[in-house]
Structure 1
């Protein structure tokens, strides 16, 4: 495990349900749409879709923020991604919700393509990666049979690029295996629970939220990994309610709209 973590994170020595240390900050930006690099300023971490930017723009954003990370999925490939044609013949079925396809990590070609993308992205100037879809490899995921392959791939990435930053999104059931190779854990929808059926933003029940937050606090303490929350809200009133709830956890966080295509703008 790396000695330098990218967030400073403090928890009380004894965590009692519904009582947290209020140290978290909204200092993370997640956006998969195209942004004007001049306007992206003052964040600890910026997570972007690398295909939208030139090296000169990444360099600019790195002068204005602490870390600039690129998005990559180790579990799926969207049919609009530039590397989809290279992998479409070796996928394991479709994720209808996101119009993407499950990757086959047992296929050598899949690993080669992913490593090539990672190398090219690092060469562009990014500080590391936001690694998505780890939950696919958990106990209830579509790729649970390939958990060992995911961990092996993650180790290969870490061994080749030990001085870069890697954030694991979800997959907390795998943390015992993945913790040595990542710098932090990102978890979506701990306080919120967006309904894809109704297209409605909503809060989780308080007991559900507390259980999730307590588990993440335990994981952070046990594995010495900072936790960041990504939450979703549509209105300013809900954003305020979400921020009030999660700021007490001590986790850094981002609150945005479900499509993550722009800097958040909340309605009144």
Structure 2
């Protein structure tokens, strides 16, 4: 049974934001430079792209883009080469609640911390309450990405603990662990832009540490099992809109809605962007696996 503050994922829902995630490489650097107190920039128009060949021209009109760092993009290298759009902010996807064996840091995670499996994605669920996990995550995952030039992090799989936690007490322990991870990231890198994928139940403790909250599939979703685009049921949309309203009104944070349309269906993308904006949310509409940049959300 799920936490009462969480809505169960519908049967058709699959997590395209985590589908193609690989490992993280790098070395820790810049501790003293990065501990200076400063506020991250405001969230602007945002794209999500997890492919390998990033076309800078496709990012015209966007202020920032979330990318899969294991696909080889290094912001500092792009800046040095002069190939990145001026003023672009690069946000790294990171999985908090789960880990794939392909991640470089996987072998360093104690076996006792890996408490279950997510069969849909062939990943392992991490015990967020494990002593040392917040420090490990910052040192082995976040710090190397910061050293590469990423100045923000999209924190995914924040509800994976629900696969294993079956009692209120255990859910509370896991949630406290997630709070500790997020707060430790913020303390170490106060200038970093932290965007949560859901994590609604964590907001009372972490709202001062994050820049925005995102969620998927408000109007249009992607059914990974059946490889098709689907309309989101009204009850699921109503629940998400209620959570978005809480985040905006109670915590004064922007909310990002990520929806999915077929790449060739420009009308679907434009309509969905308009619907999301009408709700006062920041839109992005991508293909089911986020392999292409869709310009729709960058247009007025």
Q: Give me the TM-score of the superposition, normalised by structure 2.
A: 0.72
Aligned residues: 245
What does residue 93 of structure 2 align with? 71
> 1:48-59 maps to which residues of 2 (within 5 A)?
48-51=67-70, 52-54=72-74, 55-57=76-78
Structure 1 unaligned spans of 5+: 9-26
CA distance 1:200–1:215, shift in 2 (3 Å): same
Aligned with residue 147 of structure 1, among 175, 182, 186: 175
In the alignment, is the contact (CA less than 8 A) between 2:39 and 2:191 conserved in 1? Answer: no
Aligned with residue 124 of structure 2, among 95, 98, 101: 101
- CA distance in 1: counterparts of 2:223 and 2:55, whole angstroms: 32
What does residue 38 of structure 1 align with? 56
Q: Does 1:120 align with 2:144?
A: yes
CA distance 1:7–1:74, shift in 2 (3 Å): same
Structure 2 unaligned spans of 5+: 1-37, 166-170
In the alignment, is the contact (CA less than 8 A) between 1:79 and 1:100 conserved in 2? Answer: yes
- CA distance in 2: counterparts of 1:100 and 1:61, whole angstroms: 34
Q: Give me the TM-score of the superposition, normalised by structure 1.
A: 0.80
In the alignment, is the contact (CA less than 8 A) between 1:34 and 1:262 conserved in 2? Answer: no
Q: Does 1:242 align with 2:262?
A: no
Q: Does 1:262 align with 2:292?
A: yes
In the alignment, is the contact (CA less than 8 A) between 1:92 and 1:104 conserved in 2? Answer: yes
- CA distance in 1: counterparts of 2:179 and 2:185, whole angstroms: 10
Q: Does 1:29 align with 2:47?
A: yes
CA distance 1:61–1:149, shift in 2 (3 Å): farther
CA distance 1:257–1:162, shift in 2 (3 Å): same
